[in-house]
Structure 1
Amino acid sequence: MFQTFDSQASPDQGPPRLAALRQALSASGLAGFIVPRSDVHQGEYVAKRDERLQWLTGFTGSAGFCIVLPEIAGVFIDGRYRTQVKAQVALSDYTPVPWPEVRPGDWLRENLSSGVVGFDPWLHSAEEIARIREALAGTAVTLASSANLIDAIWPDQPAPPMAPAFVHPDALAGETSAEKRQRLSEGLRAQGQRAAVITLPDSLCWLLNLRGGDVPRNPILHGFAILHDDGKVTLFAEAQKINNEVRAQLGPDVTLAQPSDFAAALRGLQGPVRIDHSTAPLAVSEILTEAGIAFVWGDDPCRLPKARKTAAEIQGMREAHLRDGAAMVEFLYWLDQQPLETVTEIDVVRALEGFRRATNALHDISFDTISGAGPNGAVIHYRVTEETNRVLSRNELLLVDSGAQYLDGTTDITRTMPIGDPGDEARICYTRVLQGMIAVSRARWPVGLAGRDLDPLARYPLWVEGQDFNHGTGHGVGAFLSVHEGPQRLSRSSEVPLEPGMILSNEPGYYREGAFGIRLENLIVVQEAPALGDNRPQLNFETLTFVPFDRRLILAEALSPGERLWINAYHAEVLAKLQSRLSAPALAWTQAACAPL
């Protein structure tokens, strides 16, 4: 099993650890300290060594931070974690803060009259710190770079990960590393820049056609890179991770160095140097400033090219999704055969991973499977443990959000199923969520629109009934890389224009705390839309995920003719694409599951 079911949250450990941090604060002369979820690479996914927020507070979510002051410790969490945080932190000592509704600078203004708040400049982007400083302007509260106080009090902090890097074949990437480096360096020269600093692990893996295993579930290599304007690269990664095959893949134009050499290499650059304001650690610009080296703020040069998948990557993702779709259908068939009240949430996780392993192509799961029955389904990023595990009870909903890493692609799919008869209210809510997913799937739009422009399509069926969901409609997805990938998103906060080749999730939901959760998710890829009308350039989506929706939860009479046409066509395509990949019993089940509404 890739997934384990141990409890990672330790609410009881939070108060003594908070007390130790406050002692360190007092000794350092600081009035506060910021503890983020991020690591030095500013990626969403972190190694065990970098789980500082979890170690301090008990909160295990993938985003958030804590600001510790002498009298209050605020744990800032977004809408996905409002329910989860209350179960994972000691509410006697930690105060959940709704973020981004409440900004950290404004919160500091309200809770601290004066003093210096410390932060580790390797764990925060320049953009993040600038926003807080702007909010504190005119007050007696300031921010200052500091040594990391968590590392100083964490006695058994795990060692850094040392997983070996491995080659990602050019045939799956659709472009060689040399071609990528040459293309990106031409962009640097065109803008008069001598080098670009790359700190995101998935960016350097994409650029060099490498993969690794330094964080769970996502095949990335920890390291930094400097791309020079002549197409050469300096890669800062632990030498023991780089074997002879990888060394040969990198070629003579990639120089290897240790991560400990990174700061010195920055001081030796010639400017202007490009730094990403939103993803590079603030320490990078501080080092360049101290060395008197000119730099400019600009996007990580890999992010947009990485998001625009090649034809080879899209074809690999199609194949990965058909393989994964067949495994999902075998799982759904299995689930339907189990007697009521005999299966637990953990049984679901184990069974689903087993069907994916049976493909003989599974590299890893792409994240810990969310298997939430009844009220647990309302915890948006629920992770089942031995302590929280419950039997799937009669007449409730089961939400399963899962994915896989295959060498040719990354998958992420959510389906919600009835256990017995969950009642008409569940069907009504399920149908609204399905209508939102269909609206996004059917969308076509003018070139130049961003994720924020499409996000309302998924919410409208819920909005008209006074309902909504507290997460984005979709995130970017990598090709055998991170299951959450930027900069593309379907979100009211996303201003990045959607472009052909970008892969996103389409996952509206609805959650009723203490009762049930509903989410439906397919992956989709942006493509040029066929010409219509006056031939204005437009885009639309190709669906990658092919797994039936549960007809027992669909109120067909509530669907419009166009919605019913879409779901029937989708189910016909599911059957056509998967029938040769299924066992006989699962195929018979799928034929019934895909019958026209």
Structure 2
Amino acid sequence: MFQTFDEVSDPTLGAGRVAQLREWLAAKNLDGFMVPRSDEHQGEYVAERSERLKWLTGFTGSAGVVIVLSSRAVLFVDGRYTLQARQQVDPAVFSIESLIANPPPDWLKENAGKGLRLGFDPWLHTISEVKALRTALEAKGGELIAVDKNPIDELWKDQPDAPLQPVEIHPNALAGELARDKLARLASDIAAEGATHAVLTDPSSLAWTFNIRGNDVPHTPLALGFAILAADGAHRIFIDKRKLSIEPRAYLTQLADIRPPSALEPDLIALAKAGARVALDPVLAAEQLRLLVTANGGTVVEAADPARIPRATKNAAELAGSRAAHCRDGAAIVKMLAWLDRQQPGTIDEIRTVEQLEGLRRAVGEETQMPLRDVSFSTISGSGPNGAIMHYRVSRATNRVLADGELFLVDSGGQYQDGTTDITRTVPVGTPTAEMKERYTLVLKGMIRISTLRFPAGTRGCDIDAFARVALWQHGLDFAHGTGHGVGSYLSVHEGPQRIAKTGTQKLLAGMILSNEPGYYKEGHYGIRLENLIVVTPEAALPGGDIAMHAFETLTLAPFDRRMLQPELLNKDELQWLDAYHARVLAEIGPMLDGENLAWLEKAAAALPHDHKG
């Protein structure tokens, strides 16, 4: 199994560990310290060694930060994790604030005492984060102070070692472009920004640029490392050679100078002293890199990671791989949904369904000669009230039986060498209530609205997010997460900068893959989320139109549960879309099934009645 189900946090440890941190602060003449859920690369998934926030607080979510002061400690999480945070941290030690509505800079403006000295690790906060924090503190006569060594690393006595998993070469047939050609493109882009060099800090960009993959963090095929790309082509990659067998080492030697991670700081200092103009992405790059350049006479050019947009706009080979991966993955999902239907309420639990689904993904991968490399994130397997916890992770302590009259939400994905998948379906256990059916149908209407959208070039994710919510809004309902995140090509299941959300300011470009996942959550009762992956496609001008448009192609292939529908809430166009989608699922997945699984899909994908006046 790629997943484990042991208890992952202990709230009772928080008080003692916060007390240790406060002793450290007093010795350093600091009034407080920030501990983010991030590593030196600012990635969503981090190695066990970098789980400092979890060690201190017990919170295991993928986004958050805690500010520990002498008399209070505040944990900031976004809407996905509000319920989870309440369950995982000691309320006597930590209060919980919204990372979105009241982020740390805003909170400090209102709550920091005059002259507050707040410590931080400059490797764990981005340039833009530090700028906002410094502005907030200085407005109250305070000071943001970079520390030389992270106190958690001193206090955490059994902190794991840094990972040393092997690097592999990603095949050109799946990458669709040679690494040397990518590097030439990026070198030209760096020069166009007026820079001599650019630092790649995001391991996804490192992986995409050099056509390599690794296994240093959970569920995402990344090799942790950095690169300094040069406009003149003298590139350097900073990666532990113990990760490189003979073939990857020989391969990378042809592309860049391979340097140990410990050489990054002195190399950057030397370049700065020589007058380098170094491009750093203020949203991704650690403040420490800015400090190294500016303190040694270099110039920081604030510019986006040069690999980020090229990585996000998938080429033909990457899109072909994603389509193939989704077809295989859909077969596994259909087999799982059919298996679920054959179980009696009260006979299986959340963990059993996770194990079943992973086993089916493995089996389909083996049958098709494209093995499951990993799950793309820990499966969200939530029955009843657990489904209302947006990013619930089942453990042996929280595991629930799928009980009669409840809903079951399963959000899962696979990592295959040709693509990354992510899908959510919600199904009834027994007979759903009228309320459940109504709200499921409203969520589906939002998904269909995004799926069928046509939009002009230059449209951003924030411009279309509301389309997924309108049906819910009309009934006084909403959901507290974005509608969609970007997805990589055998890379991170949560890829930026593309997203469909109120904060999604990136233009949606052809080739970008995103999720389409509206939801509804009734705390303490049930959750509903429906998710397909979609890709932005260019389209010619519509008949009678003036401009070329963009649209979405749906990649995910699995039926929606017809028992959860209130057809009278669906209009004619929505019903036609649903019938066409189900017909496509049957046509593409059907040939991979037989027996009772095929019979189940034929029934699940049958056309719906269109005899109402919706």
- Aligned runs of 1:518-533 on 2, under 5 Å? 518-532=528-542, 533=544
Q: Offset at 1:167? A: 0.5
Q: Deviations over 1:75-107 (max 9, x none)?
A: 001010111110000001100111221121232
Query: Partner residue of 1:283?
Result: 288
Q: Offset at 1:203? A: 0.3
Match of 2:349 among 344, 348, 353: 344
Structure 1 CA distance for aligned equivalents of residues 352 and 439 of structure 2: 26
Query: Partner residue of 2:423?
Result: 413
Which letter maps to 1:381? H
Structure 2 CA distance for aligned equivalents of residues 335 and 253 of structure 1: 49
Query: Partner residue of 1:483?
Result: 493
SS of match in other structure, 1:82:
helix
Q: Deviations over 1:105-130 (max 9, x none)?
A: 23223333132100000000010011
Query: Partner residue of 2:190?
Result: 188
Q: Offset at 1:137? A: 3.2
> Between Structure 1 and Structure 2, how many residues are aligned?
597
Structure 1 CA distance for aligned equivalents of residues 41 and 353 of structure 2: 34
Query: Partner residue of 2:509?
Result: 499
Q: Deviations over 1:426-445 (max 9, x none)?
A: 00000000000000000010
5+ residue gaps, structure 1, are: none
Query: Partner residue of 1:227?
Result: 229
* Pairing 1:595–2:606 present: yes
Which letter maps to 2:474? V
SS of match in other structure, 2:559:
coil
Structure 2 CA distance for aligned equivalents of residues 128 and 99 of structure 1: 13
Query: Partner residue of 1:143?
Result: 144
Query: Partner residue of 1:71?
Result: 71
- Aligned runs of 1:409-448 on 2, under 5 Å? 409-448=419-458
Match of 1:330 among 327, 335, 350: 335
Structure 1 CA distance for aligned equivalents of residues 216 and 461 of structure 2: 30
SS of match in other structure, 1:140:
coil
Which letter maps to 1:115? L
Q: Which moved more, 1:223-232 or 1:299-308?
A: 223-232
Q: Offset at 1:186? A: 1.1
SS of match in other structure, 2:395:
coil
Structure 1 CA distance for aligned equivalents of residues 101 and 193 of structure 2: 37
Instruction: Give yes or no for contact 2:53–2:59 (8 Å, CA) kept in 1.
Output: yes
Instruction: Give yes or no for contact 1:369–1:402 (8 Å, CA) kept in 2.
Output: yes
Structure 1 CA distance for aligned equivalents of residues 182 and 157 of structure 2: 43
Structure 1 CA distance for aligned equivalents of residues 594 and 336 of structure 2: 11
Q: Deviations over 1:534-558 (max 9, x none)?
A: 3402100011001000000011111
Which letter maps to 2:140? T
Query: Partner residue of 2:316?
Result: 311
Query: Partner residue of 1:209?
Result: 211
SS of match in other structure, 2:490:
coil
Structure 1 CA distance for aligned equivalents of residues 605 and 77 of structure 2: 39
Structure 2 CA distance for aligned equivalents of residues 63 and 188 of structure 1: 30
Query: Partner residue of 1:380?
Result: 390
Instruction: Give yes or no for contact 1:239–1:258 (8 Å, CA) kept in 2.
Output: yes
Q: Offset at 1:190? A: 2.5
Query: Partner residue of 2:611?
Result: none
Q: Offset at 1:187? A: 1.4
Structure 2 CA distance for aligned equivalents of residues 433 and 264 of structure 1: 53
Query: Partner residue of 2:464?
Result: 454
Instruction: Give yes or no for contact 1:414–1:521 (8 Å, CA) kept in 2.
Output: yes
- Aligned runs of 1:560-575 on 2, under 5 Å? 560-575=571-586
Match of 1:366 among 373, 376, 383: 376
Q: Offset at 1:251? A: 4.1
Query: Partner residue of 2:553?
Result: 542
Which letter maps to 1:77? V
Spell out structure 1 runs of 4+ moving beyond 6 A. Answer: none
Instruction: Give yes or no for contact 1:182–1:230 (8 Å, CA) kept in 2.
Output: no
Query: Partner residue of 1:218?
Result: 220
5+ residue gaps, structure 2, are: 609-614
SS of match in other structure, 1:358:
helix
* Pairing 1:515–2:546 present: no
SS of match in other structure, 2:87:
helix
Query: Partner residue of 1:21?
Result: 21
Instruction: Give yes or no for contact 1:109–1:141 (8 Å, CA) kept in 2.
Output: no
Query: Partner residue of 1:263?
Result: 265
Which letter maps to 1:357? R
Query: Partner residue of 1:49?
Result: 49
SS of match in other structure, 1:488:
strand
Q: Offset at 1:412? A: 0.3
Which letter maps to 1:54? K
Q: Which moved more, 1:198-207 or 1:529-538?
A: 529-538
Q: Offset at 1:390? A: 0.8
* Pairing 1:579–2:590 present: yes
Structure 2 CA distance for aligned equivalents of residues 138 and 410 of structure 1: 45
Give TM-score, length-normalised by structure 1: 0.99
Query: Partner residue of 2:160?
Result: 158
Structure 1 CA distance for aligned equivalents of residues 509 and 58 of structure 2: 39
Q: Offset at 1:13? A: 0.7
Instruction: Give yes or no for contact 1:118–1:144 (8 Å, CA) kept in 2.
Output: yes
Query: Partner residue of 1:354?
Result: 359
Structure 1 CA distance for aligned equivalents of residues 86 and 359 of structure 2: 32
Query: Partner residue of 1:473?
Result: 483
SS of match in other structure, 2:258:
strand
Instruction: Give yes or no for contact 1:415–1:549 (8 Å, CA) kept in 2.
Output: yes
- Aligned runs of 1:284-299 on 2, under 5 Å? 284-299=289-304
Match of 1:254 among 253, 256, 259: 256
Q: Deviations over 1:339-394 (max 9, x none)?
A: 22101000110000010010211111101100000000000000001110011010
Q: Offset at 1:232? A: 3.5
SS of match in other structure, 2:130:
helix
Which letter maps to 1:172? L
Structure 2 CA distance for aligned equivalents of residues 141 and 108 of structure 1: 10
Identical aligned pairs, as a percentage?
A: 51
Q: Offset at 1:213? A: 0.3
